[in-house]
Amino acid sequence: MKTNVKATLLAVRAIGVVFGKKIWWTVVLIAAALAVVLIALCVWLTSLSGWWWILAVIVGMAISIAFVILAVFRALLAYINPTQTQEQKTAVKDFVEKLQFVQELTQTPKFIILFRVIRSVAAPSSEKYLENIFESRKLKADFERVVGLF
């Protein structure tokens, strides 16, 4: 099956955005918890001595910079997210769930599996990586279905 390059890129962007959002929420929760702990520590330290305000200002700036970086990352996710129909969104989410299941079974990083799936669809070769992992033919067919929807 010949694939359309534009459709493949749109599908990869949509899949990447779903992964990015999952990573973003995890990082935001960790950063928020860490910020609360650091702020509480700074409040306690500044009650001991005025000199601790220097540290509190630095910590405050670091927390602000971290959340600006997270906001920029989220804005980039929104920017690269292609316009999708409900059917496309469902297909992308289903594909990502299957990809994560395969990742858990094989203990391979998600992005390596995603790269190999895309490579096997875009440039088939004699390497049969996808045929060797659990339900790989189904995963390849699912990716082709997602690409076909774009």
Could you tell me if 44 and 55 are in contact, meaning their C-beta atoms sit under 8 angstroms apart? no
Q: How far apart are alpha carbons 91 and 85 in whole angstroms?
A: 10
Q: Region 13-18: what's the mean pLDDT?
A: 85
For 132, residues 6+ apart whose C-beta sits below 8 A from its C-beta are none
Q: Which structural domain range is residue 12 located in?
A: 5-149
pLDDT digits (tens, 9 = 90+) for 96-115: 888 777 777 767 776 676 67
Q: Region 53-62: what's the mean pLDDT?
A: 94
pTM over 0.85: no
Q: How far apart are alpha carbons 30 and 52 in whole angstroms?
A: 25
Query: H helices of 49-85, where?
Result: 52-80
Lowest mean pLDDT among 3-17, 55-69, 121-135: 121-135
Number of domains into which the chain is organized: 1
When the pLDDT of each residue in the chain is averaged and rounded to a whole number, the result is 81
